Chain A
């Protein structure tokens, strides 16, 4: 077995807002990613997805704090690293692609130079070498006419082109690990299809590992080889993609899948009115219980751990769905 490139162990992140109850965004997250893996992390808004991405990058904004747990990257704990040490890892071995690519780029610097700067800072290349590397990268992300586009400014590019530039920046140092935080959701579907294909090819060529964060179960089913479903800061179900889609066991996973169904009967089987409980006081032993069609009294009383119910398929539920 190959060693994991990233291991997240029992990660707890809490936001301490002055004068309010602390908000526990992540409440004990465990997972690992091996080289060449694409793990899809699926959850609704507020489930802690973005907090996870920021924790790995060492960029949890104040008043957020990592309370507990470790993030092992290539065997070293990122949570114990200094700001300077993180700066040298971030952008080189560990990179992130975010939504809204135009906000990510410096509007005053030509895009080619922005890609080259990443290579100069992290790989110590000369200006000429870095420019060559950047140009190659712009070609690799299939930007048409890369020599000319090298000198354009971000506002001259369409959203899809700008997203490619951001991907080129993320990949120019051949990172070991990429996080995509909702990076394709703002794109049009035909462009999204192109960008996903591109990411897939680049990741498999270089055996890069990737964490693909999204709320769209549909995209992950086609793009990721493993899935983790997150609810309220915890993984509630994880397995390889084919297994999880064919044999979903957590009622929340079935609810997500039912949202794609056009049959009201199937949807009402798995969907109960109500919304996520955001307050700490309102959280039940199983946080999903108030929205769960199968909830029993014990779901409100006893918390439940992730258990392996089929080979490689872990579920956090008292009454998992089987068929």
Chain B
């Protein structure tokens, strides 16, 4: 497969004014995305996933490491209402990227109409202002603006988090369809694991600026091997009370400060498996086969104690039973 984006050893530290300390937001991250593929970066607030996205977009200068992009890139923001200028008509907003690539005005109108249709909106909205649209429609406008230049890569930063559940599902469907039609690769940054499970081919779980587990999405969801991934996945609550406690790792406390990173494994203070070695040494990235990579000394022990169960897949059975009435 042709690689669209390759990130090698990315580091991003923010200096703290008036102090020698720094916020170590991203600490040595490597990943790549192939043509037409979706890689999800998941993690909680403070994990550095948004900083990675901003470095990829060139909005932040990396402290170290390399980022190679083959092709064009666009982005879709989290808060659709804030990402659109309230004083600019929708039509102009969608057209703007075409001006940036110097497309002659005669061709722009046609492209705008085509892209509006493609994201499931009607041309009537072109004369409207963002405030008159629902959040779901606003996000469609954001997506239309991103795909109009036919970029090879789209960075989606929490595109579904601000939406109601039904609108969220529609946007995910739209993104899947557009990927099939246009073949763009997605870097999907999200803490919304339902959306991630549905949309991504591969997944990278971040914790304190490091990728602690990476692999094929279905495999990581079915057999997560890092205690943090398991804790994260078992915290997801789907509308079926019987799906509680399929996995049993509960993480204590909260994420440590990225200013004073712990020695050894960053999760050790919260992890039920941690021993002295975990508190002393940083575990290396270990390939378990099939590009499933884990940074954990205890992954074999974790594999023995945790029974494999993909809550999302289990829920599909519930959904089938209840919804196909």
Of the 9-residue stretches A10-18, A74-82, A264-272, which lies at the interface with chain B? A264-272
Across-interface contacts of A221 in B (CB, < 8 A)? 237-241
Report the bound CA distance from A223 to B44 in whole Å. 22
Number of residues of chain B lying within 8 A (CB) of chain A: 44
With A221-B241, A261-B316, A264-B173 as contacts: A190 and B235 at CB distance below 8 Å: yes
Q: Number of residues in A with C-beta < 8 Å to the partner? A: 50
List, in ascending order, chain A residues with CB within 8 A of B325's CB.
321-323
Q: Is A279 an interface residue (CB 8 A)?
A: no
**Which parts of B215-244 form the interface with A (CB within 8 Å)?**
231-232, 234-241, 244
Whether A160 contacts B254 by the Cβ 8 Å rule is yes
Chain B residues with CB under 8 A of A188: 44-45, 191, 255
Q: Which residues of chain B are within 8 angstroms of A117 by Cβ–Cβ distance?
A: none
Q: Evaluate contact between A267 and B44: CB separation under 8 angstroms.
A: no
Q: Is the beta-carbon distance between B164 and A260 smaller than 8 angstroms?
A: no
Contact in complex: B250, A193 (CB < 8 Å): yes
Q: How many angstroms between the C-alpha atoms of A192 and B169 in the bound complex?
A: 22
Judged by a CB distance under 8 angstroms, whether A306 is at the interface is: no
Evaluate contact between A246 and B166: CB separation under 8 angstroms.
no
Taking the complex as formed, is B297 at the interface, i.e. its CB lies under 8 A from any CB of chain A? Answer: no
Q: B233 to chain A: closest CB distance in Å?
A: 9
Q: Is A44 at the interface (CB under 8 A from chain B)?
A: yes
Assembly CA distance A220 to B239 (angstroms): 8
The distance in angstroms between the C-alpha atoms of A267 and B322, with both chains bound, is 12
Which of the residues B45, B165, B231 comes within 8 Å of A216, measured between beta carbons?
B165
A199 within 8 A of B: no
Is A36's CB within 8 Å of the partner chain B? Answer: no
Q: Is there contact, CB below 8 Å, between A259 and B244?
A: no
Q: Are A190 and B169 in contact (CB under 8 A)?
A: no
Contact of A246 with B134 in the complex, beta carbons under 8 Å: no
Find the B residue at minimum CB distance from A188: B44
Assess whether B319 is interfacial by the CB under 8 Å rule: yes
Write out the residue numbers on chain A whose beta carbons fall within 8 Å of the beta carbon of B194.
260
Is the CB–CB distance between A190 and B231 below 8 Å?
A: yes
Q: A88 near B: Cβ within 8 Å?
A: no
B92 at the interface (CB under 8 A from A): no
Q: CA–CA, A187 to B173, complex, Å?
A: 26
Known: A190-B232, A192-B235. A269 touches B241 (CB 8 A): no
CB-based contact B44/A273 at 8 Å: no
Closest 3 CB pairs of A and B: A323-B325, A188-B44, A189-B235
A interface with B by C-beta (< 8 Å) = 44-45, 144, 158-161, 188-194, 215-223, 241-242, 245-246, 248, 254-264, 266-267, 269-271, 273, 275-276, 321-323
Chain B positions within 8 Å of A, measured between CB atoms, are 44-45, 120, 134-137, 164-166, 168-170, 173, 191, 193-194, 197-198, 231-232, 234-241, 244, 250-251, 253-255, 312, 315-316, 319-320, 322-325
